[in-house]
Structure 1
Amino acid sequence: MLSTYRDCLSSPHAKYLFATNLLGRLPQGMAPLAIALYLRSQHLGFGTVGVITALYGLSMAVGGPLLGRAVDKYGQVRVLCWSAIGSGAGFLSLAWSGDGGIGVAAPSAILAGLLSPPLEPSLRALWPSVLRDRRALGAAYALDASLQEVIFMAGPLLVVLVSSLADPTAGLVVTTAAMIAGTLGFVLPEPVQAWRAEPRHPDWAGPLRSGRFRRLLVSMLFVGGSLGALNISSVVYQEHVGNAGMSGILLGVNAAGALLGGLYYGARQWRISPPRQLTLLLAGMAVCYLPMALVPPPVVAGVLVFCAGLFLSPVLACAFTIIGELAPKGTATEAFAWMITAILAGNALGSSSAGWAGQHFGLWASFLVLGIAGIASTLVFAPLLQNTAQPRAGLEAAEETGL
């Protein structure tokens, strides 16, 4: 089973690209906590801290597709380097803002998020030119999705460690250093220097002109919604059972399941098509989330969220593969960036929905949002099964109709 990953990582530059790209993406797991801890150290209220941290996340969601389109147009090196410098300037401006208040902190956070280098979509757009074998390409997507969980586990821990050894300002500085060092390292190899997108159809919509791609994005929006709902529901559940660490346990076992599920998925060769795989994976995740509405005891809840996590990374890896097939020529990086934006937007919607449901109806309703989001993601994507298997040329011709 591990031979698939050996083949993937034995390709020239593969290990180096993974390592530098993940280092540059480490701020995805570090920045929200680093920003919050720094702002609290400046005696800003929790409401203000929440608003500024949200502005950072929303700015990333807006900037991702714009920078992705720039990468498709100008290449990876120029856009990644300049955006890393701009985002780093935003972080450092925040770190040096002192007690300047929200008038200084908010623009700095927006700048840091808006110009966050699109390393994640750039790597995924790069893999087809580095890995010619389709099976190795699928393994790379799965490994990428699994290692993403490591970023979100290791990032906050690193921020806490740095802040405790020095101060919260150091957390922002280390976040900036990781992003710039990883980005500069990533752009050095020849495949990154030489990468160019295919000639694209000149229109403002880019990959969004594909009706099938838009449907996939809506499905991923609901996947993000389930993740956001789990974040809030786990806190509500923690208060329900009276265990101060329960939310962290639930989120941790979900991440562990995602890590293991992604590694297993990428190591196997599947006989069914990626669209059918994704439909089954989405349905499996929904089935695991639905029983949470019964408010099970902690052990059962842990098993359910772990099993849901087993489907999460495969869902993302499979979606990466489908995006590579659906995205119109010359729009690959922007298309991958749109997927990240959809998940971020869904995360915010899921968090707010689960919080509202929990406040007005109780814990069961907060958990029910998880299952509803999972079912919705499956129902939205399922109609693509009859169309996605068309040859690429047929797909591109069909996109002109907006179907």
Structure 2
Amino acid sequence: MADEVEQKVRTDEREGPLGYRELLARPGVRPWLLVTLAAKLPVAMAPLALVFLVRESAGGYTLGAVLGGAYVVGEVVGAPLLGARLHGAGLRRELAVGLAVGAVAFAGLAFCSAAPPLVTAALAFLAGAAPAAHAGGLRALLVAAVPEQAVARALSVETTLTQGIWAVAPALVAFLSLGAAPGAPLGLAACCALLAALGVRRLPRESSPETAEQHPAAGDPKTAGAAPSRARALAAGWPVYLTSAAAMALLATAELVLPALLQSRGLPIGWSGPLLAAFSASSVLGGLVYGTRQWPGGARAQSLVLLVAMAVFVALAAVLPGLAGIAVALLLAGAFKSGVMVTRNLSLRERVPSDMLAAGYSVMYAVQGVGYSLTASLAALVLAHAEPAAAVLSGAALTLLLTLVSALAERRPRTA
């Protein structure tokens, strides 16, 4: 068996990186795409869907914001707590249970819009918390389904899919809420989560032999025995988690401050929607381009360089004149966004044991939510006392500061 694995590894190395067509032909990859689509669409729809659900109620948009906050808090709490359970043979079972509970919570929200606010807030929290580990678990299953030299391209496919989902979700929510019923988007979210729960059980159980053999952080018995604890092993990825927070700081800056920035320039705020759609479309294209070749430098160095470039272009949106200047800056920032996402996932694989990747990805997912929320608070504080351009520059400065701290941490030798 060992000879067969070694021969397969040599064959893969001779063939070089898989193209997108060959990657999609790998066993388990296409089912993974379908399951991921069903699992991520509810997440992308939920915050706006909750606003549309209650906008005509007594609480109005204020209650919608509260429900959206409860959902995000559920994600932040659920991702690390449930993600720590994602390892070994029980990974797919845990994912399926979490998605199924999330489906029930989404269905409850869809049919209980007139319930007391505390009930709807509890359901929103549960809808965010129960399936929150799916991002880390599904990414770990994807990495396990492809050989080592195809991991970067596979993660590019995941990033492209994610950006595509986030680009269409707002329009889908508005169409269903206004054209069908206020609870229709949440009903669709419940159906998607349930389909994902059923589909995840059919995904491959374990990594293929050649994948496990090639993994740079493969958890052999010696390495596993040396690890003092799972918590300490997860904590080893903190510089990567920090870059995730930095990336979300930029995303929050671009999304939340853009309408105010346009208004301060005397431009119609209606342009914020098309500009953010273009930002996402540019990110989709950037993810595909990143996966087409091997880039110089390691994943960690690439992540830091791409993050700095993204921060610079977001900052340029605050100083370039006119609508065209803002559009060009956001398009260029979006082109680097997917590369940041892919490289930080690759970087985490180098710092966290292979049998804890799902948990590590889940922690990173939670940190992203924290980074977004803190930057939103910073933007609100700056906007209350300064021009929108200052809020954009503050978000970019925060990103650069976090990136610097992460870069310095990466240079320090890791202790065993």
TM-score between the two structures when normalised by the length of structure 2: 0.86
Match of 1:336 in 2: 361
For 1:295 and 1:358, the matched residues in 2 are separated by 19
Match of 2:172 in 1: 158
What is the DSSP-based 3-state SS (H/G/I as helix, E as strand, rest coil) of the residue aligned with 1:319?
helix
Match of 1:222 in 2: 246
What is the DSSP-based 3-state SS (H/G/I as helix, E as strand, rest coil) of the residue aligned with 1:99?
coil
For 2:193 and 2:206, the matched residues in 1 are separated by 17
Q: Is the 8 A contact 1:222 1:377 kept in 2?
A: yes
The within-5 A match list for 1:60-99 is: 60-72=75-87, 75-99=90-114
Q: CA deviation at 1:3?
A: 6.2
Q: CA deviation at 1:155?
A: 1.6
Q: 1:232 aligns with which of 246, 253, 256?
A: 256
For 2:54 and 2:254, the matched residues in 1 are separated by 26
Match of 2:182 in 1: 168
Match of 1:27 in 2: 42
Moved more, 137-146 or 365-374: 365-374
Q: CA deviation at 1:373?
A: 2.9
What is the DSSP-based 3-state SS (H/G/I as helix, E as strand, rest coil) of the residue aligned with 1:147?
helix
Letter of the aligned partner of 2:229 in structure 1? D
Letter of the aligned partner of 2:242 in structure 1? V
The within-5 A match list for 1:3-402 is: 4-72=19-87, 75-134=90-149, 136-191=150-205, 201=227, 203=229, 205=231, 207-210=233-236, 213-240=237-264, 241-294=266-319, 296-386=321-411, 398=415, 400=416
Q: Is the 8 A contact 1:60 1:113 kept in 2?
A: yes
Q: Is the 8 A contact 2:97 2:197 kept in 1?
A: no
Moved over 4 A (4+): 192-202
Letter of the aligned partner of 2:285 in structure 1? L
Q: CA deviation at 1:327?
A: 0.8
Q: Is the 8 A contact 1:138 1:317 kept in 2?
A: yes
Q: CA deviation at 1:63?
A: 0.3
Cα distance change on mapping 1:32 and 1:133 into 2, 3 Å: same
| Number of equivalent positions | 388
For 2:95 and 2:320, the matched residues in 1 are separated by 45
Cα distance change on mapping 1:98 and 1:341 into 2, 3 Å: closer
Cα distance change on mapping 1:106 and 1:194 into 2, 3 Å: farther
Letter of the aligned partner of 1:54 in structure 2? G
For 2:387 and 2:232, the matched residues in 1 are separated by 43
Q: CA deviation at 1:310?
A: 0.8
Cα distance change on mapping 1:167 and 1:193 into 2, 3 Å: farther
Q: Is the 8 A contact 1:186 1:192 kept in 2?
A: no
What is the DSSP-based 3-state SS (H/G/I as helix, E as strand, rest coil) of the residue aligned with 2:140?
helix
* Structure 2: unaligned runs, 5 residues or longer: 1-15, 213-217
CA RMSD of aligned residues (A): 2.5
Q: CA deviation at 1:278?
A: 1.3
Moved more, 117-126 or 220-229: 117-126
* Structure 1: unaligned runs, 5 residues or longer: 389-394
